[in-house]
Structure 1
């Protein structure tokens, strides 16, 4: 048991959670939408602090982050729980666990142990990933603070629904984030995730304002968010609100969980999405979940030369030093050192 942050006590032992944009009103003895923050006699507690359900050493490209310490590894951790209800979640067995079983599984793993294991594994960062890091915020914050003191970076892989006040609190020790932007329709967002598109857009603006390195991922789902119009709206939002230098990853969907009625995303659809992004003026648009596609590589926005070669999560030839193109010396936005 660990007392939560960002909540207010109300009448009748109710509390208002202020960690994510749902701002749950939680009665005594009940939990928020995430399933892992519980009101006990008017005090809100995190049920997952120090309880790791997954910890692995991953290539940073798996997050995916292509402009943050490419070729490095990231010690990746998660607890059970999520504040979204994505019908196509690839990790639903752990993200939705608290909604099927009130037991909170996981093995004890302290922030100190995470940092030590990251160092021993040769990782350059710690990623809070697999489920939604916002819901294990206190655990992530304490780990990230120790990691920063030890010279490690910190990465969120997130649905982008954290409140402004919570993001501002962790921002000084958060180096990079990959945020899912699942579409650009309020109705589809609510149907597929249970959340609001506007809340995610506001969070993305917060990340940019706070100076955290940002990359965006959109899972392209056939018949749901793959129209030229919707993809164009996403590309223009990134360009106009976040900056043309922010990388956009367009990834292939595969039927899973509660969304098995749609086919996998054709390669041609991803290539079309990439062209739409580049035509809109984005500097770097990447195809994902289809290893071997040319859209995995990074090209210089100045001269067009290939700067970073990739196949899946493997980094190949690099023609970039200290963020500058070896051919024309143009600077590529990112975190390279």
Structure 2
């Protein structure tokens, strides 16, 4: 960011909106503020949500499976999704009574005290909290904890490159494979999300994707095929993809939930296209939430809700056929 001109406008380079913020104004996110020609992260250390979650709730299925993650959220978002399920905090103001202070070092101590294996920044868009997550991430790594972004992927290249040494997992929403969807439903663009996901993979982060399948919006065969093919070609066939069921919420209440049959069709198509680990979400105790060997189809990890049972793994191989199975079982920091 920098100041320019007599108006003391500042440019924010954190997310791909790259907002030009006038004096005493906020960026699209609502939490990055121009005060006297200086850009401030006004939500730093301000917590709206704190919980001990199963890592599968993020959802992350191939990152420290069966462990707990200390999960924090604040307020603000750089998207304006019409179907937002966390709108109460993503759209909250800096004066919200939900907010309380939590220093990075205190958060790390709470994570360790709760026997968590990782810290997750989630619930609202963690990129809006960038400096806070950067500081806490360094402390978490020093204490042996993994770190997770549950993100919409609109972070810029320069911000992600700086963050990557303090981050282990990049759980990214790819909300659709249509720029028109991103513009009309989210107030954003598709390509920066794809670029960030590919960069995260390049930087060595563990990447899993989530797509909320919305009837009549992003559920066509052509669009899903395009998305799955892109992930295989740019992130790799071992990338876990989660296809989750839509439920009416916020400003998108004009349609019903996604038919389970639609999700099953997408799952089966993903396997046919060569994706090794597709999953369904928000569908109760469905068999397609389990992890199966991509070679012999043996059951490897069984999931009932957030209860996880390892059934057929021998280390990082299928116990039945010996196929290598990609997942993160432990965190090692230099």
Instruction: Normalising by structure 2, report the TM-score.
Output: 0.96
Q: Identify the residue that residue 3 of structure 1 maps to in structure 2.
A: none
Distance in 2 between the 1:129 and 1:24 partners?
23
Distance in 1 between the 2:115 and 2:62 partners?
19
Q: Identify the residue that residue 37 of structure 1 maps to in structure 2.
A: 32
Q: Identify the residue that residue 123 of structure 1 maps to in structure 2.
A: 116
Distance in 2 between the 1:104 and 1:36 partners?
15
Q: Secondary structure at the match of 2:2?
A: strand
Given candidates 44, 56, 59, the residue that maps to 2:54 is 59
Distance in 2 between the 1:320 and 1:46 partners?
44
Structure 2 matches for 1:291-302, cutoff 5 A? Answer: 291-302=284-295
Per-residue Cα deviation, 1:247-286 (whole angstroms, up to 9, x for no partner): 1100000000000001101110110110111111000100
Q: Identify the residue that residue 70 of structure 2 maps to in structure 1.
A: 75
Structure 2 matches for 1:13-162, cutoff 5 A? Answer: 13-98=8-93, 103=96, 105-162=98-155
Distance in 2 between the 1:314 and 1:23 partners?
41
Per-residue Cα deviation, 1:73-120 (whole angstroms, up to 9, x for no partner): 00000111100001111100000113xx75575111110110000000
Given candidates 239, 262, 279, the residue that maps to 1:246 is 239
Distance in 1 between the 2:273 and 2:4 partners?
48
Q: Secondary structure at the match of 2:210?
A: strand
Q: Residue 330 of structure 1: CA displacement? A: 1.5
Distance in 2 between the 1:128 and 1:267 partners?
29
Distance in 2 between the 1:175 and 1:15 partners?
31
**Is the Cα–Cα contact under 8 Å of residues 80 and 105 in structure 1 kept in the other structure?**
no
Q: Identify the residue that residue 203 of structure 1 maps to in structure 2.
A: 196
For structure 2, the 5+ residue unaligned runs are none
For structure 1, the 5+ residue unaligned runs are 1-6
- Alignment: residue pair count: 329
Distance in 1 between the 2:203 and 2:245 partners?
30
Instruction: Normalising by structure 1, report the TM-score.
Output: 0.96
Per-residue Cα deviation, 1:2-35 (whole angstroms, up to 9, x for no partner): xxxxx12211211000000000000010000000
Q: Residue 318 of structure 1: CA displacement? A: 3.0
Q: Residue 177 of structure 1: CA displacement? A: 1.6
Distance in 2 between the 1:256 and 1:316 partners?
32
Distance in 2 between the 1:104 and 1:170 partners?
29
Given candidates 251, 275, 283, the residue that maps to 1:282 is 275
Structure 2 matches for 1:179-258, cutoff 5 A? Answer: 179-258=172-251
Say if 2:9 is the partner of 1:10. Answer: no
Which shifted more, 215-224 or 295-304? 295-304
